[in-house]
Amino acid sequence: METMPTGSSGRLGRRRFVSMLASLGGLAAVGNAFGSALAFYSNPESATGPTKSAPFQMARYPQKTELILLTDRPPQLETPLRYFQTDLTPNDAFFVRWHLSGIPTTVDLRTFRLEVSGHVRKLLSLSLKDLQSKFEPLSLVALAQCAGNSRSLFEPKVPGGQWGNGAMGNARWKGARLKDVLDTAGVLPGAVQVGLHGLDVAPMPKTPPFEKSLQIDHARDGDVMIAYEMNGEPLPMLNGFPLRLIVPGWYATYWVKALSSITVLDQPLKTFWMDKAYRIADNADANEEPQHLSAVTVPINRMAVHSIFVRPEPDQQLRAGQPYELAGVANDGVEGIRRVEISQDGGQTWSDATLGADLGKYSWRRWQAKWTPPAKGSYRLMVRATNAAGETQRTAQWNRSGYQRDVIEHLDVVAI
């Protein structure tokens, strides 16, 4: 572990340059980052107009299996639902989401360093090997979920990545506690936040580099970690090789990929990515109305209670009179899922599903429920989850950016 004398300011240190292909610049849209000029969502046409998106295409990227292609530059790849039938999502099927098209495509471990700087006693410059050998490893299962997962289901539609339910994945992460790394650097009194930055680069001089911040107490809670393994393997490049910040229970916007710089700050980080983007209405369900947008917004944070169907898939036909095993996954932020209920009659009656393995409070929980369609016809299936704190899901929800979806999922199926 190299240490250097302190003396740098609290600004985010310039990350070490790592050889990177001349990826074309990237100027990625994040879900509607601005709160201005929003009356247009009230346009009644937007709910009834020809809003169908172009059909999705599949794509195969390095170290990945065939995934649903949302965008190719920068890559945004969605996991097909069938991969959600195991507790841990395979690395090659794990969703991908970058903001800036200058993404790292080459990392030389001989020169790669994670720099820790700012409001600390000593600067650190850590190699991957340092992280692996000089800190006690922590291993935990945690769900990574994009803030905009399920965005395409919001009505009226909102701009941004038109994700279905596959912008998430559950993995076992192994790494060093951020707390231990910060303690080694020695956080000075007066620290309020840590700023986090990865190897991706902004394409234009005025494009804000992607960076996020966490409150210092959160950063030191002992569960926030710097992962070097994902399901027992190094991370795929597109999921953040060689190091990714894991913020268990929080939306993946904070899980900075290819983490290369940690800056301890004595002032809150000022950045587009905290101040303008990834903000939600200041209420528990990130809920607002198109005609009455919330005047007060806060940075998105813990994941809401959320549950989806994995089986059957939309448009799948079932057989009347034949038993079928409904299945899906449910998650929340930091409490853990306690109960999942299914309705087969559009929400009039509910029955308990069987919960799968409990892999810890930060993991999703798989569920199953047997159902026999009694007769030919159409059925509206619904699923709702409740977490250990008694929090459950809403029947309706909307917000301008399509974030933090926690609305009770329905699935219309036909029995033949």
Partner 1 sequence: MSPTATCRRILHVVIAATGLTVLVSANAQQPSAGLPKPKAPANPVHSIVLPQYAPEIADGPNKEIYQRNCLTCHTARYVSMQPRFSKTVWQSEVKKMVDAYGAPIPEADQALIVEYLVAVKGIEAPTAPTAPTK
Name residue 181's beta-bridge partners: none
- Give least dist CB 101 to partner 1, A: 6
Q: Which is nearer to partner 1, 57 or 291 (CB)?
A: 57
Q: Which is nearer to partner 1, 31 or 175 (CB)?
A: 31
Given candidates 3, 8, 16, 25, which one binds partner 1 under the rule CB under 8 A?
25
Q: What is the DSSP letter of 208?
A: P
Task: Return the residues of window 298-357 that contact partner 1 according to CB under 8 A.
Answer: none
Tell me if 157 contacts partner 1 by CB under 8 A: yes
- Give least dist CB 15 to partner 1, A: 17
Stretch that binds partner 1, among 47-55, 315-323, 345-353, 383-391 (CB under 8 A): 47-55
Q: Which is nearer to partner 1, 174 or 338 (CB)?
A: 174
Alpha-carbon distances, residue 80 vs 89, 303, 305 (angstroms): 11, 21, 21
Name residue 342's beta-bridge partners: 351, 383
- Give least dist CB 163 to partner 1, A: 10
Stretch that binds partner 1, among 41-49, 284-292, 326-334, 387-395 (CB under 8 A): 41-49
Please tell me the number of Cα atoms within 13 Å of 187 on its side-chain side.
22
Tell me if 82 contacts partner 1 by CB under 8 A: no
Query: In the structure encoding, which two tokens stand for residue 73, read together?
Result: 């530059």
The count of residues in the chain is 416
Tell me if 51 contacts partner 1 by CB under 8 A: yes
Query: In the structure encoding, which two tokens stand for residue 80, read together?
Result: 């097909």
Given candidates 16, 134, 218, 276, which one binds partner 1 under the rule CB under 8 A?
276
- How far apart are the C-alpha atoms of 52 and 70, rounded to whole Å? 14
Quote the radius of gyration of the chain (alpha carbons, Å).
22
Tell me if 39 contacts partner 1 by CB under 8 A: yes
Query: In the structure encoding, which two tokens stand for residue 348, read together?
Result: 């009039």
Tell me if 167 contacts partner 1 by CB under 8 A: no
- How far apart are the C-alpha atoms of 244 and 149, rounded to whole Å? 20
Q: What is the DSSP letter of 84?
A: G
Task: Judge whether 112 and 242 are in contact, CB under 8 Å.
Answer: yes
Phi-psi region for residue 105, left (φ > 0), alpha (ψ -120 to 50) or beta? alpha
Task: Return the residues of window 85-114 that contact partner 1 according to CB under 8 A.
Answer: 101, 103, 105-110
Please tell me the number of Cα atoms within 13 Å of 29 on its side-chain side.
11
Stretch that binds partner 1, among 36-44, 216-224, 248-256, 354-362 (CB under 8 A): 36-44
**Dihedral, 151, 155, 159, 161 alpha carbons, nearest 10:** 20
Tell me if 16 contacts partner 1 by CB under 8 A: no
Tell me if 205 contacts partner 1 by CB under 8 A: yes
Stretch that binds partner 1, among 37-45, 170-178, 288-296, 354-362 (CB under 8 A): 37-45
**The pairing of beta strand 409-415 with beta strand 317-318:** parallel
Tell me if 227 contacts partner 1 by CB under 8 A: no
Tell me if 291 contacts partner 1 by CB under 8 A: no
- How far apart are the C-alpha atoms of 278 and 20, rounded to whole Å? 27
Binding residues for partner 1, rule: CB under 8 A, are 21, 23-29, 32-34, 36-40, 43, 45-46, 49-54, 57, 59-63, 69-75, 101, 103, 105-110, 152, 157, 159, 161-162, 202-208, 237-238, 241-242, 272, 276-277
